[in-house]
Amino acid sequence: MAMTDLLSAEDIKKAVGAFSAAESFNYKKFFEMVGLKKKSPEDVKKVFHILDKDKSGFIEEEELKFVLKGFTPEGRDLSDTETKALLAAGDKDGDGKIGADEFATLVAES
């Protein structure tokens, strides 16, 4: 399954483009712009599984760095600061990674 099976390619392009500058990433605005906030919980979990590149059931810090590339190959890598901020926002149980339920909560809270 591709990200464009769930989200509009145009919305993805606009959202990724809006955060192309270093240190500009805002996950709340990004999730809204990309259309993820309007999706069903099932679709949000499908997006999570696309972003979980190693299929571990979690999105670890190393995977978070490439979260924009998970939406489109043209996306940039997040900086260490942006990656740590996203992890801190999503990691509700403090285990150093984001699970599917934590990701769903992160999207819902944005």
Q: 54 φ, ψ to 5°?
A: -90, 5
Give residue-wise pLDDT tens across range 30-73. 999 999 999 999 999 999 999 999 999 999 999 999 999 999 99
Q: What tokens appear for 59 in the block?
A: 């999105």
Ligand-binding site membership of 93 (annotated): yes
CATH class held by domain 8-109: mainly alpha
Ligand-binding site membership of 54 (annotated): yes
Helix/strand/coil for 51: helix
Q: What is the mean pLDDT of residues 13-21?
A: 97
Ligand-binding site membership of 58 (annotated): yes
Ligand-binding site membership of 77 (annotated): no
Ligand-binding site membership of 69 (annotated): no
Q: What tokens appear for 48 in the block?
A: 């999570």
Ligand-binding site membership of 91 (annotated): yes
Tell how far CA 50 is from the center of its chain. 10
Which residue ranges make up each domain of the chain?
A: 8-109
Helix/strand/coil for 76: coil
Ligand-binding site membership of 102 (annotated): yes
Ligand-binding site membership of 11 (annotated): no
Q: From CA 72, how far away is CA 75, in angstroms rounded? A: 6
| pLDDT tier at 110, thresholds 50, 70, 90 | confident
Predicted confidence (pLDDT) at residue 89 exceeds the cutoff of 90: yes
Ligand-binding site membership of 46 (annotated): no
